[in-house]
Structure 1
Amino acid sequence: MATSSIGRASIFLASGTTVSRALGFVRAIILAQALGVVASAGADAFAVANQLPNAIYAIVAGGVLSATLVPAIVRSAVHHDGGTAYINKLVTIALVVITATALAATLLAPVLVRMYAVTWSDEQLALASAFAYWCLPQVFFYGLYALLGEVLNARGSFGPFTWTPVANNVISIIGLSVFIALFGADSIGVRSVGDWSPDMVALLAGTATAGVALQALLLVLFWRRIGLRYRPDFRWRGVGLRDTGKMAGWTLAMILATQIQGVVEINVAGLASGTNASVFTIQTAWLIFMLPHSIIAVSLGTAYYTRMSTNAAAAKLDLVAADTGESLRRIGYFMSWAAAGLMGIALPFTTLFASTFQGVWDMGWILTVFALGLPAFSGVFILQRVLFALNDGRLAFIVTMWQPVLLTGLLIGCAFLPRNIIALGIAVSVSIITIGWIVFGAVLVRRRLGVSSLHMGRSFVLANAFGLVAAGVGMAVAWALGAYVESGWALANLGNALVAMLVIGVAVTLVYVLLMAVFRIPELREARGLISRRTRE
């Protein structure tokens, strides 16, 4: 895949992700109005239940599919049948695993909920379990979506994987709108656990699952368009699945460690449930944090991943190294700018979700701290894809394993903080560990590829420096507009908040672009050229 093709694929992926994430924001805003984002026991119960499918799926199959399918399918293309038998066997194995997992998880819903919320009352646990019974079938559909999507990506069909989530968000928005119409909004979160009826639970959680199901089933339509015909194949010997299994084993170990850390994080955050910022607040702030990562880093990284896998299969490590440096450089500049913008607009932006100043303050600072680690988070995503492309599960395990171990220690420490800052302490811990993660990972990947650390890291560090300066300017402008005081102009109403975000965003962008121009960063010239060509077209 040529660099120009990488660019086109990235833009197409980013456009789908942008639309999906934009609708996801609309969904999150409506959900916050329906349940309340801070100090809402019902919102926290739904947050725990609705994240269970992601957690269970990730442990059993999520990262394993991403880490192994694309490289394995690329390597199988040299088989006499073009890899068809290999794909059928992999898909059959995966379907068996995710089906069994979804059934088992749904039956064990109360046990799983209690594992994530050991300090909650019986009433709140019962509500979360009711949500979980409706949500846990999502495990199957998440698995199906990832399975079909990764096969499409490996065959060079990138668009469907990023565009079908649009349907998911549309279904969720419709469901939430109906929920508010029937049962009313609760933006402050005063609805008690006992106020929830079975109809309310079924509508809220049921439409969430229906959206995920539609997202997965739509991908079936695209398989035929690229000439794939699936036939179940239970003869799992003789096509070289052993190496794939080894890689999957290392990946599973990484994900299991990460999910154990996730259990600790949610339990610690749950200590503040119903009184302060807790699980749902953190999840909503993380959703905002993930927007630029999903649009830019995931789209660009997914497009590079297939080419890296092809070059790695041909033992062309110099080309893999070149792609690694290029992708890190591009992502570094984009994500540092995005992080600076998020840090500047954090408090005005959270007025879209929270209805009280305390809610805006709590969620805004959580988002600010998360944003500090955004460039590093996206950089780690690229480094992991490099190791997956190289089929080096052992090194990927080493790069990743220390992160959940150290983070778990910090999270346990957060349990001893005052309840009103537990969520903020969790955000600080996550960002600290993520920044350390990129440094450690870059050193090991550099050694694996045999390239200079200066070549790989200089641009990334410079981009982060630019981002910090721009963030400082953005936060200063936010302060001048009254974003950090209850009676401030920027927080007085939604209109003021939107104007404040625009002013802050322009200031951050001008400073960031000026720094890139002063230091003559090549990516700025590339961006100008792209804009110029698009304008002429």
Structure 2
Amino acid sequence: MSTSQSHRVASGIGRASALLASGTMVSRVLGFVKVIIFARIIGQFGQGADAFNIANQLPNQIYVIVAGGVLSAVLVPQIVRSSLHKDGGTGYINKLVTVALVILGITTLAATLCAPALTWLVVGNNLPPEQMSLAIAFAYWCLPQIFFYGLYTVLGEVLNARKSFGPFTWVPVFNNVVAIAGLVAFSILFGADPNGTLKATDYTTAMIVVLAGSATLGVIVQATSLLYFWKRIGLSYRPDFHWRGVGLGAAGKMASWTFGMLLLTTFAGIIETRVVSEASGSDASVAVMSTAWLVFMLPHSIITVSIATAYFTRMSEHASTANIAAVRTDASSAVRGTSLIIVLATAVIAVCAYPFSVFFVELFSQVQALGNVILAYIVGLVAFCVLFVFQRTFYALGDTRTPFYFTLFQVILVTIGVIGCSFLPTEWIAAGIALVVSVAGAAQTVLAGFLLRRKLGGIDGRRIVRSLSTYVLAAVIPTALGVFLMAQFGAFEDGGFAVASVPGAIVSMLVVGSAMLVLYFGTLLILRTSELKVVLDPMLARIRRR
């Protein structure tokens, strides 16, 4: 590939990644606003907050696995290959989408009917009867989200495969707007409970409908709005139940392995929720872990998913023509490009964990508890993002069996570690589980890298390790400076400026984060990091043109 061709490819990836990142950023900001409003209205440590999060995570857990597994693993590579058909792949898309929607519909109906059993499966006997009843009531309203999360993923992945990347990341904005409106309505109608003092028995049917119903309505709006963008690029869906003779057997075989991954990861999630629910009602539990995970996922969603999604379509194209060298180059570029920013994000969020927590809770003891869970999760962020790229590379190659095996490895480690956390004092269970997840994820990434290296005949490992080492080295001094500055702002003491109020937290994070950012990128410039040049050149060129 010539230099000019490489530049055009990089520029295309950059534009697609920027569009994805902008939509994800707006959505994630609104998502944070939603969680902050939820925390100020429902609380983070009360029976109501944990009951709702237990119910709401049932469809969310399935969505995360389906979006990153069965549907994503199957749809994009198959649709890219089907574009070689005479009709451009339209008929194949209709058949594949019909299969997906039938499976989603059956799964959603069965799950909703089994709401009491699923809720018990997740938490066991750890909740008092009245809180268990509340969680089941929420679950009946939340579980229909499964179908619409799946519909969103199906429609969005088809758009991605057709290189229409923007809608998939922008329409979650509609979801957050609807959910925020529901929370505001809840506050107006029933008042706020920021410290979680309401008991489960205080929740009326109307409160349940407004809270859980608005959450589900947001998902419905998110999914159905993608139909408009289908029409804009000339796609229209017609149900097609004639599934034979078009190669769906290969897609089904791929899906069977990713469905196995679904079962494995769901099992691990059940173990985690069962153990952490032992602390519900007083210490950090389900709601706190959900919020900490949201903080953890912010840089991953904005940076890694945006870049990797743009690369994924290209990798699928290269894999369809057996261009393994190009797949290897794409995977290496995606890892190095995302890690450059993710290392900085890890350092900044770790340093700002306590001030960050002030957005969600008021009492310093709760700030510490939430901050500790964020810290335990964030140490695994770099490995998590690298794993995401490795996993998508396997999917581009049409291999969903190997990801099943390294997921099984991770689930075994998580299960053993989480069960061990049940012996911790209740105030440390949530942080302990988060740390177990981080350590197990790092081990899984190493195994995935080894297996991908065998499959591709190399993964540019030396260059990846050299780049990661450079990034980590460049982050050492900024992290030390950040901790020092946060101490000066009183982030680690009750009543300190950084943790006494939201404005104080914002000022502290802006000052510290800016200082760390400048020092980190300044260090990378001094070290003449090649990946930084790739990031900066398009920006500088755009500035010159203006």
Q: Does 1:222 align with 2:229?
A: yes
Equivalent of residue 108 in structure 1, options 95, 106, 114: 114
CA distance in 2, matches of 1:5, 1:508: 30
Alpha carbons 2:17, 2:310 under 8 Å: kept: yes
Equivalent of residue 46 in structure 2, options 40, 43, 54: 40
Equivalent of residue 274 in structure 2, options 264, 267, 271: 267
Q: Does 1:67 align with 2:60?
A: no
Instruction: Tell me how far 1:35 sits from its aligned partner.
Output: 1.1
Q: Does 1:475 align with 2:483?
A: yes
CA distance in 2, matches of 1:151, 1:460: 33
CA distance in 2, matches of 1:467, 1:438: 21
Q: Does 1:456 align with 2:460?
A: no
Aligned to 2:5: none
In structure 1, give the amino acid aligned to 2:72.
S
CA distance in 1, matches of 2:352, 2:65: 35
CA distance in 2, matches of 1:394, 1:465: 36
In structure 2, give the amino acid aligned to 1:258.
T
Instruction: Tell me how far 1:471 sits from its aligned partner.
Output: 2.8
Equivalent of residue 83 in structure 1, options 79, 83, 89: 89
Aligned to 2:431: 424
CA distance in 2, matches of 1:61, 1:200: 30
Question: In the TM superposition, what are the counterparts of 1:95-494 in structure 2 within 5 Å?
Answer: 95-118=101-124, 119-451=126-458, 452-494=460-502
In structure 1, give the amino acid aligned to 2:69.
G
CA distance in 1, matches of 2:369, 2:347: 19
Cα root mean square deviation, aligned: 1.5
Instruction: Tell me how far 1:493 sits from its aligned partner.
Output: 2.1
SS of the aligned residue for 1:438 comes to: helix
In structure 2, give the amino acid aligned to 1:426.
I
CA distance in 1, matches of 2:224, 2:300: 25
In structure 2, give the amino acid aligned to 1:71.
P
CA distance in 2, matches of 1:331, 1:202: 41
Alpha carbons 2:72, 2:157 under 8 Å: kept: yes
CA distance in 2, matches of 1:215, 1:491: 35
Instruction: Tell me how far 1:175 sits from its aligned partner.
Output: 0.6
CA distance in 1, matches of 2:376, 2:516: 17
In structure 2, give the amino acid aligned to 1:140.
F
CA distance in 1, matches of 2:105, 2:277: 30
CA distance in 1, matches of 2:62, 2:348: 33
In structure 2, give the amino acid aligned to 1:111.
A
Aligned to 1:514: 522
Aligned to 1:527: 535
Instruction: Tell me how far 1:58 sits from its aligned partner.
Output: 5.3
Alpha carbons 2:264, 2:407 under 8 Å: kept: no
Instruction: Tell me how far 1:77 sits from its aligned partner.
Output: 1.2
TM superposition score normalised by structure 1: 0.97
Alpha carbons 2:122, 2:273 under 8 Å: kept: yes
Instruction: Tell me how far 1:473 sits from its aligned partner.
Output: 2.8
- Deviates further, 149-158 or 368-377: 368-377
SS of the aligned residue for 2:352 comes to: helix
Q: Deviations over 1:315-367 (max 9, x none)?
A: 00000000011010001111001111101111111111011001111111211
SS of the aligned residue for 2:538 comes to: helix
Q: Deviations over 1:157-197 (max 9, x none)?
A: 11110110000000011110111111111111111111100
Instruction: Tell me how far 1:312 sits from its aligned partner.
Output: 0.3
User: What is the number of residues matched between the two proteins?
Assistant: 536
Instruction: Tell me how far 1:396 sits from its aligned partner.
Output: 1.9
Query: What are structure 1's unaligned runs of at least 5 residues?
Result: none
CA spacing shift, 1:396–1:219, aligned 2, 3 Å = same
Instruction: Tell me how far 1:304 sits from its aligned partner.
Output: 0.4
CA spacing shift, 1:460–1:384, aligned 2, 3 Å = same
CA spacing shift, 1:61–1:510, aligned 2, 3 Å = closer
Alpha carbons 1:336, 1:466 under 8 Å: kept: no
Q: Does 1:53 align with 2:54?
A: no
In structure 2, give the amino acid aligned to 1:481.
F
Alpha carbons 1:62, 1:143 under 8 Å: kept: no
Instruction: Tell me how far 1:514 sits from its aligned partner.
Output: 2.8
CA distance in 2, matches of 1:304, 1:60: 20
Alpha carbons 2:376, 2:432 under 8 Å: kept: no
Percent identity among equivalent residues? Answer: 49
Alpha carbons 1:273, 1:279 under 8 Å: kept: yes
SS of the aligned residue for 2:148 comes to: helix
CA distance in 2, matches of 1:463, 1:436: 20
Alpha carbons 2:67, 2:153 under 8 Å: kept: no
Q: Deviations over 1:85-144 (max 9, x none)?
A: 211111111111111111111111111111111111111110001101111111111111
CA distance in 1, matches of 2:446, 2:539: 33
CA distance in 1, matches of 2:333, 2:339: 10
- Deviates further, 450-459 or 479-488: 450-459
Aligned to 2:3: none
TM superposition score normalised by structure 2: 0.96
SS of the aligned residue for 2:362 comes to: coil
- Deviates further, 137-146 or 479-488: 479-488
Alpha carbons 2:335, 2:389 under 8 Å: kept: yes
Q: Deviations over 1:37-93 (max 9, x none)?
A: 1x2111000001011112344567762001010000111111222212211111111
CA distance in 1, matches of 2:473, 2:78: 38
Q: Deviations over 1:487-515 (max 9, x none)?
A: 32222222221111111102211231132
- Deviates further, 293-302 or 443-452: 443-452
CA spacing shift, 1:400–1:457, aligned 2, 3 Å = farther
CA distance in 2, matches of 1:535, 1:72: 39
- Deviates further, 499-508 or 48-57: 48-57
Instruction: Tell me how far 1:532 sits from its aligned partner.
Output: 2.2
CA distance in 1, matches of 2:504, 2:67: 45
SS of the aligned residue for 1:520 comes to: coil
CA distance in 1, matches of 2:427, 2:265: 26
- Deviates further, 514-523 or 213-222: 514-523
Alpha carbons 2:13, 2:311 under 8 Å: kept: yes
CA distance in 2, matches of 1:498, 1:360: 15
Instruction: Tell me how far 1:458 sits from its aligned partner.
Output: 2.3
